[in-house]
Structure 1
Amino acid sequence: MDRRAFLRKPAAVLAAPLGTDDPTRATALTAPTDPPETVSRYANKTLPNLPRTTAGLAPYTGPWTKVQAAHLLRRCLFGPTKANIATATASSLTQVLNGLLTAPAAPAPPVNVSATDTSVPIGQTWTTQAFDQNFEGVRRASLRSWWLGQVLQGSTLVEKMWVFWHNHFVIEFSDINDARYGYQYAALLRQHALGNIKQLAKDVTVTPAMLRYLNGNQSTATAPNENYGRELLELFTVGKGPLIGPGNYTTYTEADVQAAAKVLTGWRDNATTQQGYFTASRHDTSTKQFSSAFQNRTIANAGDQEYKALVDLVFDQAETARFLVRKLYRWLVYYIIDATTEQNVIVPLAQQLQQNGYNVAPVLRTLLESEHFFDSVNTGCYIKSPLDFTLGICRQLEIPMPPASNPAVQYSVWDYLNSTTSLQQQYLGDPPNVAGWAAYYQTPQFNELWINAVTLPRRSQFSDLMVSTNGTTRSGFKLVADPVAFVESLPPATAEDPNLLIQSLVDLLMPFPLTANQLAFLNDTLLPGLPDFEWTTEWWDYLAAPTNTTKRNAVATKLRALLKVMLSQAEYQLS
């Protein structure tokens, strides 16, 4: 399989696959003032419907080596370190999944790192303080930095799923304009990252951030607001099927949106208590009638409990489970869901999800330990998101980070990394719209959208900077990789042999083996026109005098040149 093909014009492909994707969604959600999105002329125009693989959900029983361990970790972490891969390789698949699916304790809340916010001292949390527009900007920056820091430092599937739910139950920090609400929302997503989707949907529905973001706090009996009811159906649960009649999207109708809006009337947000609350006098007390898509069921007046009945009604639908599983699949495996994958993977996983009461962890385990997940076509086929790319470099090259004892500097570095991913078109806390990042839903390009004329140079700029001599400095802290220290951490026999050294970096950084020509090219990058023993000699000379600047620079310069090339290769863009 040629996984470099995403940089070239694809071969002719067939009709779109089975699914319920709506290719008009991005246009419908984009504000009129937004510039049109530029899509490469080489991007997919259609998706194939031929089976990529016939592998299903039978447990994987093939070899368990660093190849399989690294593949699993690449999809579950934001860049596995060599220690992560070594530990996983020495364990069994079941043991690795047990660790990945064990949620660590909730982190401490974000803290103030700006003298601007006088409500609390530096290093103490602002999340319990009163809202103040004068402090909102620095609190929001603190929140983003904190969130990225937790994701960067994580070593379980919680972090990857935390961002998944953010892309699913979307809010935008800049729209809600209350960092305290944003923190409460982020903490809720993390709490349920590996938990019960139905309960998360209920909690999100009345969380202040969502009430404000989709105008639920303005919805009254005399003027029901349809925003949340529509997105609950179209984006958060059952999804939009083909239009089969006026206002009928197969899985729901416009009348269902209107009924859902009536159910949700009466909810408001309280900026003092930071809670959603219900006002009975603003609630529509009529019996809400739903269409045949929901078995013509009704929801009678139940006051502040009515929204739970709505969520239960929607989650009773088999298509809700299938819609959610498709999104999980596209997050963790690949964006193409052909008819065979739909039948062999999506449908049985959806049935398991329903049978488990929408607890997501068992479904994730079934998928991640399956023959389908470990099929060779699903290795190295996924274009990294900006978060995967940027945090992966930091983690895999073991770039030193500021200590927690200095939160101002620590948050400053995390803020820099946020700005880096933002330039690559993924800003944590602010997806472009309520549908999330287009790379996860926009057919037929999907994650090809991460690579374009703007973002690819920005990726290279960041990777080049991290392996340069000076790196970048934030609040007095130098952020830069130390390739010499990295190589010193390898087994001595590997570090002194240029070919073994290169292969160890390939095993860490690349999702599949490189060709003999590519390895020869990398050898020539490390040792331009020189024999292999030249590296061994220079490395031994350095080890004999590690404080000698000249000898250290001799090996460091070669390693930086090698890493610069490797991080710019097409293969490194893949997971």
Structure 2
Amino acid sequence: MTDRHLTAQHLAAAPPAVFGNAELIHLLNRTTFGVSRSDINALSGKNLNQVVATLFTQPAVPAPPVNGYNDANYTDANVPAGTTWVNAPYTDGTANSRRLASFKAWWMGLMINQNSSILEKMVLFWHNHFATQTSTVDDARFVYKHNALLRQYALGNFKDFVKQITLDPAMLKYLNGYVNVKSAPDENYGRELQELFTVGKGPNSKYTEDDVKAAAKVLTGYTINTTLISSSFDATRHDATNKTFSAFYGNTVITGKTGANGSTELDDLINMIFKNNEVALFICRKLYRYFVYYNIDAATEANVIVPLADIFRKNNYEIKPVLQALFTSDYFYADAAKGCVIKDPVNLVAGMMREFNVTLPGDADYVNQYYMLTYLQTIASNIGQSIGDPPNVSGWPAYYQVPEYHELWINSDTLPKRNQFTDTLIGNGYTRNGKKLVIDTVAYTASLPTPADPNLLITDMLAQLYQVTVSQETIDFLKGILLSGQISDHYWTDAWNALKANPTDAANLKVITTRLQTLYKYIMDLPEYQLS
């Protein structure tokens, strides 16, 4: 994968020699949560550019989360049941806590119910990049507004994105921007703006402590309004002196401004930062690690990252052209790039729901729908990834910590919990208030192209559920589960055809269901299912 000598021109003009179902599934697996049968069926036969164009289609803005949390012990007096709380007054800690749980359930639902778009994967990417924690922001309305901002700019202009993140009430709260005043400049956001959000910590990112201090002074004066759920600029709190930066930024001097004009210093700061080539290199490295592989050696840096960064800069920091180059280049589809990373917990949970088309309660039954989504969000949290609450401002270590990266998702605690979750959903399921989350193994099998043929059935299911090739010994074992120890393929074929002819035959349905549950449980307990 790293021996391909790509230039910026090649990245845009060298698609893979073949784009068939295997390549489609790999692309979907990296750009959506799991690979659903509906996406495979809808996109199979389309060429690469058509599929990528579909992935870049911006979905409609989703309806906001609602109050499904009233119960015998608590009623949110400001938010009637079934209506949204995102613009309601902040009342007390109990309401806020329940609204935050509502937000997390809602977000999990968007990932599970996504269409054929990369948006949800990008929202999670940017949530990790511009990391905030609900526990610190401590206002569900700000948290929701922050997520809406991630959605708005996820595929837009990164430079504009950085400015809006800087002014975002949740970020101002999280990194102390709202208490950054001329009499006591707070360096928190000024540091992370450079170290984590723009130029990064690469070998050539030579910004200085004085640059951090100067940036902090530029950023003085911003406040948050909990009534309006917004931010604003207060000139009386702003440092209007000149700010001098280091040679890394060309010894730039940002002229201090008074009154309302003080807010324009933010534009000067962002313009100065984005003149530095390190911004494009840093972001392209993060995108490569998220969508391709964590290891960036010297050849990958020179032949992939540098050309991608060139595309980023030449397109005025628009995000789409970089991703388009990434997904239409042959190295993305190299065998070494497939199944080479461990699924993050959200991808495991949301992906499994989508792969098997597990049914959730509908919007009208919002109470039980949110209960179920909270269960799924809690599972992801218990195995290492609580959406809304990465461990710190750097995000989840599995995305950046050398040398382990994605291997950090798996340990002696999380792997058994992963298997317990998939075992539960493939078996008796999760039940709450008479509603059940469970994988319908018969329905899923029926959705495959040739379910009556045990050989093709195994081939098709593995093509969707695994991103790596398994041994013939494993395939033979899986087939043995379907045949229940018999030799002839007809033992499965006859049973399946009989079920299709008479779906009410309880005895045959039990036989078929038992075999399929054993089969899928085994498939999901193998290490290969943990790979993306």
Q: Is the 8 A contact 2:25 2:40 kept in 1?
A: yes
Aligned counterpart, 1:364:
323
Other-structure match for 1:508: 464
Structure 2 residue 265 is matched with structure 1 residue 306: yes
Match of 1:96 in 2: 51
Matches within 5 A, 1:42-61: 52-54=2-4, 56=6, 57=11, 58-61=13-16
Contact 2:399 2:406 in 1 (8 A): yes
For residues 264 and 511 of structure 2, the distance between their equivalents in structure 1, rounded to whole angstroms, comes to 69
Verify the 8 A CA contact 1:55 1:371 in the aligned structure 2: no
Say which of 105, 109, 114 aligns to 2:64: 109
Letter paired with 2:479: N
On the 8 A contact 1:240/1:252 being kept in 2, the answer is no
Conserved? CA contact 1:52–1:377, under 8 Å: no
CA distance in 2 between partners of 1:139 and 1:484 (Å): 37
1:479 alignment partner in structure 2: 437
Return the offset for 1:118: 2.2
Correspondences of 1:445-460 after superposition (within 5 Å): 445-460=404-419
Mapped to 1, the partners of 2:228 and 2:36 lie a distance apart of 42
Q: Separation in 1 of the partners of 2:209 and 2:484?
A: 66
Give yes or no for the alignment of 1:80 onto 2:35. yes
Gaps of at least 5 residues in structure 2 are: none
- What is the alpha-carbon distance in structure 1 between the residues aligned to residue 338 and residue 43 of structure 2? 17
CA shift at 1:549, angstroms? 1.6
Q: Could you tell me how far apart the structure 2 residues matched to 1:61 and 1:151 are?
A: 28
Question: Which stretch of the first structure deviates more once superposed, 472-481 or 65-74?
Answer: 472-481
1:70 aligned partner, one-letter code:
I
Q: What secondary structure, in the 3-state scheme, does the structure 2 residue paired with 1:225 have? A: coil
1:219 corresponds to which of 164, 180, 184? 180
Instruction: Tell me the amino acid that sits aligned with residue 169 of structure 1.
Output: F
Gaps of 5+ in 1: 1-50, 243-248
Q: C-alpha distance in 1, partners of 2:310/2:496? A: 57
- Displacement of 1:250 in angstroms is 4.4
Check the 8 A contact 2:199/2:205 in 1, yes or no.
no
SS of alignment partner, residue 122 of structure 1: coil
Note if contact 2:16-2:328 (Cα within 8 Å) is conserved in structure 1.
Answer: no
Deviation at 1:541, TM superposition (A): 2.7
Cα shift readout 1:449-495 (whole Å, capped 9, x = no counterpart): 11111111111011101110x2011343100011111222334xx21
1:512 shift after superposition: 2.9
Tell me if the contact between 1:117 and 1:138 (Cα under 8 Å) persists in the aligned partners.
no
Give, in angstroms, the shift of residue 61 of structure 1. Answer: 3.8
| Partner residue in 2 for 1:534 | 491
Counterpart amino acid of residue 461 in structure 1: Q
Question: RMSD of the TM alignment (CA)?
Answer: 1.3
Give, in whole Å, the separation in 1 of the partners of 2:85 and 2:158.
29
Give % identity: 44
Could you report, residue by residue, the CA deviation over 1:304-343 in whole angstroms, capped at 9, with x for unpaired residues? 1211221121111101110010001111111001111111
Aligned ranges for residues 385-424 of structure 1 at < 5 Å?
A: 385-424=344-383
Deviation at 1:55, TM superposition (A): 5.4
Structure 1 residue aligned with 2:474: 518
Aligned to 1:405, what secondary structure does the other structure show?
helix
Q: Matched residues in 2 for 1:543 and 1:106: separation?
A: 40
1:566 corresponds, among 520, 523, 527, to 523
1:103 counterpart letter in structure 2: Q
- Residue of structure 2 in register with 1:17 after alignment: none
What TM-score results when the alignment is normalised by the length of structure 2? 0.95
Aligned to 1:233: 194
2:448/2:461 contact within 8 Å kept:
no
Q: What is the rounded CA distance, in whole Å, between the counterparts of 2:59 and 2:253 in structure 1?
A: 41
Q: Deviations for 1:266-288, whole angstroms, at most 9, x for unmatched residues?
A: 11111011111111111111100
Per-residue deviation at 1:525?
A: 2.8
Distance 2:382 2:322 in 1: 34
In the alignment, the residues of structure 2 paired with residue 395 and residue 334 of structure 1 have an alpha-carbon distance, to the nearest angstrom, of 23
Q: For residue 240 of structure 1, what is the amino acid of its counterpart? A: K
Distance (Å, rounded) in 2 between the aligned partners of 1:336 and 1:193: 24
Aligned counterpart, 1:171: 132
1:276 aligns to what SS in structure 2? strand
Shift of 1:62: 1.1
Q: Does 1:331 align with 2:283?
A: no
Which shows bigger deviation, 182-191 or 275-284? 275-284
SS state of the match for residue 364, structure 2? coil
1:201 and 2:201 equivalent? no
Give the Cα–Cα distance (whole angstroms) in 2 for the partners of residues 417 and 312 of structure 1.
42
Partner of 1:23: none
1:509-561 residue CA offsets vs partner (Å, 9 max, x unmatched) = 01133221111121123334222322122223322321122110100000000
Deviates more, 1:52-61 or 1:304-313: 52-61
- The corresponding residue for 1:26 is none
User: Where do 1:153-302 residues align within 5 Å?
Assistant: 153-155=113-115, 156-242=117-203, 250-302=205-257
Report if the CA contact (8 A) 2:292-2:337 is conserved.
Answer: yes
